[in-house]
Amino acid sequence: MLHAADAFAKTRAEERAALVGYLPAGYPTLADSIKAVEIMIDHGADIIELGLPYSDPVMDGPAIQKAADQALAGGFRTRQVFEVTEAVAGRVPILVMTYWNLVERYGVERFARDFAAAGGAGLITPDLIPDEAGEWIAASDAHGLDRVFLVAPSSTEERIASTVAACRGFVYAQSVMGVTGARAATSAAAPLLVERTRKHTDLPIGVGLGVRSGDQAAEIGAYGDAVIVGSAIVNCYLESDDIPAGHQKLAELTADLAEGVRR
């Protein structure tokens, strides 16, 4: 099992930010989501973030919502995230981003056990706050899993401090107040949020929401420890005529992003 700390040890030694690539498991198909992860790793992704498709993704924008809907329509079930994880684990850390009620429905201890057995590194939980995460904290400790909570521009200093204290692996800085989606410009609030968060932790800080190019990745990589890219990756498939064309676009985009964080 590789953890986020393993990836950050490597990127810090290379004096650069990490590239985190996100894709919903099961999209565009189960087999092709595995292929897509392999493409991202082959072209420079340091950490993979698998989305667990959900029917009410309140934090996600149109691209990720559409991808999740397609995965669910194709028959995707929660347990299949372990299949995808097991198929790609071992080269880079694999984390799952999931809305919390999916884990509760599966069983918190059972989910932690099965994910660890598949070689997973940990969970990113956008709608779970540390105050309500006692069961997950216990299960992640028992199975040696990373737990990544989110901070936002609206977070108070007290909230940032309590959130980072509960994190293991890295901290997810949600750089905009809104849903996910590729944007023409990066968030002006992101540098300040990272600066505020660094006052409370030595953990790496990943910046997400909006990145779609190598230039933007370079911009964020100048102050963040990780650049998290999701909607732009999903759009490789949404905007392609077929899956092979999507794979090609993904290879080109990931290479561009990887070059950006290495600038």
CATH of the domain at 44: 3.20.20.70
> pLDDT of 140-170, one tens digit each?
999 999 999 999 999 999 999 999 999 999 9
Count CB-CB contacts under 10 A for residue 79: 10
CA geometry: angle at 212 spanning 216 and 119, to 5°?
Answer: 105
pTM of the predicted structure, to 2 decimals: 0.94
pLDDT for residue 14 is more than 80: yes
Per the structure, the complete domain to which residue 67 belongs is given by 4-259
Percent share of the chain, pLDDT over 70: 95
DSSP code string of 30-56: HHHHHHHHHHHHHTT-SEEEEE---S-
Integer CA distances (angstroms), 166 to 4, 137, 169, in order: 15, 8, 10
Mean pLDDT of 67-84: 97
178-229 tens-digit pLDDT: 444 444 444 578 999 999 999 999 999 999 878 999 999 999 999 999 999 9
Report, as an integer, the average pLDDT of 38-62. Answer: 93
Domain tally, the chain? 1
One-letter amino acid of 24: P
Q: Does 182 or 29 have the greater pLDDT score?
A: 29
The better pLDDT of the pair 60, 197 is held by 197
Q: Which residues are catalytic?
A: 49, 60
User: Per-residue confidence at 86, pLDDT binned at 50, 70, 90?
Assistant: very high
Q: What pLDDT score does 163 carry?
A: 98
Q: Is the pLDDT of residue 59 over 90?
A: no
